[in-house]
Amino acid sequence: MVRNREFRKFTFVFLLVTLILAIVGFSQNTAAGLLTMVAAVIFGGLFCFFTQARYRQIAQIADQIDLVLHNEDRLFIEELDEGELSILQSEIAKMTLRIREQNAALQREKENLADSLADIAHQLRTPLTSVNLLLSLAGETTSEKERKMTLREIEALLLRMDKLITALLKLSRLDADVVAFQNEQISVSKLIEEALRPFLVSLELHEIQIEKQIPTTLTIQGDANWLSEALQNILKNCIESIGEQGTIIINAEDNPLFCAITIHDSGKGFETADLHHLFDRFYRGETGSQTGFGIGMSLSQSIIKRQGGTITAKNHPAGGAIFIIRFPK
């Protein structure tokens, strides 16, 4: 407290004024001088007491700030009634809460990253092991037919790995927020047509029918290429769920609040245990029986969210699964 420049100035002025008043008081009579001295001592003592209490509170706040900077989990600041200090306390409490939230978010990201790296290593290790085994078999076999079959299997595994790496790169770009989305007016009808194009042969082979109810004038704002990829991942999930002979119903509607696209398949729907994890990265079902790497739905969600939309999925009362995509206006 003594080291404070303002306090030293006030003390000097106070002592000077007290000295002058004491001299004036004693010049009148002794009682006046003594009264002046007693009043000065009482006032000075009270001032020092309250000033010291204030500095203790400031020191406590400083200590708590130091704890915050050193990531201390426990933080306690005594309730203050004084105006400026109370405001300062409130701001520090808000700052502490934000720092804790950020630390918690960073910790979760760190854990998610570690889990993701482990999952990526596992996803790549399995096909790589298969490739090594197939290469060994290809080197040992003398049959040209068997060698060609083995090479085709190796090609399929390498293509599978390439798809995984491509999807992971897209996810990492989305997570890093470095994707420059186009903001253009998109015809929903044409968007659905483009998304369905890669599956036309597969749909015909598996006897899966597409039923669409999409107004030709309906449009949304966004990036057509990225949104088409998001829809393709959803459609791929629907096709795999149906298997053979089924229907995919695609509807789109417009209202004053949002534009909605719904995709309903006639497959077996979702397991109850999977409903809350459908968009989790690398999640492949409670039983692990789902095909793929478990990143398609996560990629779709990231694409749609980055463009201001939302996606939900649930079991349809009539059977199968339904995906609901909404783009607010």
Give the tens place of pLDDT for each residue, 179-198. Answer: 888 889 999 999 999 999 99
What pairing do the DSSP bridges indicate for beta strands 219-222 and 246-254? unpaired
Predicted local confidence at residue 10, as pLDDT: 67
Among the four given CATH numbers 3.40.50.300, 3.10.20.30, 1.10.10.60, 3.30.565.10, the one describing domain 184-328: 3.30.565.10
Residue 53 to residues 50, 92, 210: CA-CA distances in angstroms?
A: 5, 19, 77
- Side chain identity, residue 197: R
pLDDT tens-digit series, residues 71-115: 665 555 555 555 556 666 677 777 777 877 887 888 877 776 676
pLDDT of residue 289: 45
For the chain, which residues score pLDDT lower than 50?
Answer: 287-289
Measured in degrees and rounded to the nearest 5, phi and psi for residue 270 equal -105, 150
Domain parsing of the chain, residue ranges? 5-78, 100-175, 184-328
CATH of 100-175, one of 1.10.287.130, 2.60.120.10, 3.40.50.10490, 3.30.530.20: 1.10.287.130
